[in-house]
Structure 1
Amino acid sequence: MNVLRIALKEMKIVREVRMLVFMLATPVLLILILGTALSSAFNGSTAIGDIRVLYHDSGTEPALTEQWQAFTQEAQRSSGMLFEQAKEGMNGQQEVRNNRYTGYVEIDGNGINYEGNSRNSIENGIVQGMLSAFTDRYRLSAAAAKIDPEYESKPFIAEDGGRGYVLEASIQGARQPGSLDYFSIAVTTMIILYSALTAGGLIDSERKRNTAQRLLASPVTKAEIFAGKILGTLAINAVFVIIVVLISKYMFNAYWGENPIMVFLVLFTEILFALSLGLGISYVLKGNAAGAVIMVIIQLAAFFGGGYTPVASTTGFMREAATYSPLHWSNEALLQLIYSSNGSAAMQAMMLNVGFSVLLLAIAMISMRRREGL
């Protein structure tokens, strides 16, 4: 009962406006600012100009001409590429050199010959890829016709009725986080780590207010005081984290996956780790030194752990240092859980958080017992 009373007393921190602003307004603003300012790092899109292809068909291969016409019509309809037949007397190679077309295709009895514009490398690469796919299809259809002449009367690609002899299927790629998705995770975990500063002052604040001796004179034990303060701070931080997650989900449309229970378990174990970190350091060091050390640890963990910018593409020292950041454990676990349904990464992060929490809390409890006061 004493533990609950102390826990409720710690939860009354919600009446402090500055704490409410820091725990709610700060992460929401950071998600918006970082997610908007660094959106280009997640976009990866490149502007592509108009793709115009000039071609000349000698008409010596009727089967090839027929499939070429079907290919150009489909390409124009689905991708917006423009295929123009060269007029009589027009020099296709010269038109490409003059940058009027992306490439020139020559169709004759020897097959297909393509000459691309090197000044438009992206557009030229797209055309080359499509032409390579087309020639592979044509070779397949020609080989199939030799085996069974009936294939000549069937469409190349299977239609709704299943009449074709080639069935095309595409594989949907795994969903990737956008800028707001990523920073909703990164900022949430980073703000949780800042709660170590609050935890570092849980006991020290009692000493500064000269209430530590009163607590010890009351009919409560040191263990009850310790447990009550941890329980109350853990509960209030958990409430703040849930609110931040819901705001990011419904205000910014951030994706938090289909397993919210595991997501919140990872976040809650990180809260426990942050509180244990603050308490452990506050007992090893005293006064302002503890706060300074906690702040340095938080800043280093945020910098190397992806709090301000993604670290997935980094190499060398930055990549190696990230593996030792407690923020990186949680961020990587949440990304794996949300976008790959990888529960093992989440379990590993939770075990690390809980393991270090037990160690740090043990240090704090042993130090408390050795002291005469709190």
Structure 2
Amino acid sequence: TDLVRLVAKAPEPTVPPTTPPATGGPTTKPTTRPPGVGPDLKKGVGFLTHPANLLQGRYYDDGAGQGQAEFGMTIDGAFALAATGHDNNALRTIVDFLSGGGKDGTGRTLADWSGIGGKHAQGGRIGKAALLAQAVERDPRDFGGRDLIAAVTDAVCEKPSTAPDRSCPAKGAYTYSPSVFAQSLGIIAQVRAGEEKAAEAPIAYLASLQHASSGAWPSLIPSTGDSDVDSTAMAAMTLDLVPGDAHAAAVDKSLAWIAARQLPDGGFPGASGNSVNSAALAVQGLSLDAKKYDKQITKALKFLASQQNKDGGFNVAKEGQRGSDIRASAQAVGGATGISFGTLTRSLKGTTPNPVPSSSTPVIVTPGD
């Protein structure tokens, strides 16, 4: 290379930057960590895209051995790939499968999983699919031939349902969406699509679920009165995305609560114990104010690194059985970047979907690979 054209590629930051969505809103700006702090994200992506895990390069199964896709976990994996940018062709393959009406081993599609267009449409699941479309710069109003944003709006409950109908726990909830996590996904999809007006009732309902004394959110809808790190981080990311300062104090209070829950080793308590999932979501939440919570984020990243295995995957929790878990690994890889779901963006321009392997070709897995 002659000296006129000679350039050196800058080293990749431990926490890659993110591009704000076209709809505007706050942008998460994670702090770049020193080398060696946090898990190896390339190895993590390698685990998530390994043929033994990502079937046909297109979806993760439910573990029952029948080839039934776990569509929610598949989208989680896609979020992780989008956050890192380490294998955009694999990400393109997943997105094309989902948007193209791809069928799993039992003939089910993304539409079957979300219930879109049917009597039991699940607003949170539809919102999750819409958020994936937005994250990879696809049109959520025409994803797999469906207007996902209109479907999310249609799934907003106008009033509580009466028994035996349990579709709507409250005004502003999404139909058949049983958790704060699902509620948050629907709101993020609407706000990123510029539908703040349509999202007013869901936003108000989510805000009403916050515990006034602590600033935490419960995990389930209707609320069981518990306080959950994962859900609190997700709700914080959601309300931080809403234009204006109406929810700024609520977000600040929730982040303070999350930080106070950190364990001495840097982890966070979750349903499974000292949880990888919870630590990763805590990193995403605390990164909304990365300067203030830099020490907590660094400790959490070190904890995540301690739970990464040789194959690149992550344990579910510090306690109990060791071994890499796909769901925990997807959350750990994406969460470790510190990028909020509200601002996650990854262009697929210039990418090529990976060829789908022949069903007659066995997957060869080398022990320890």
Give TM-score, length-normalised by structure 2: 0.22
Instruction: Point out which structure has higher relative CO (alpha carbons under 8 A, 6+ apart).
Output: 2
Q: Hey, which of these two has a bigger chunk of strand by percent? A: 1
Higher CA-based Rg? 1
Q: Hey, which of these two has a bigger chunk of helix by percent? A: 1
Give TM-score, length-normalised by structure 1: 0.22
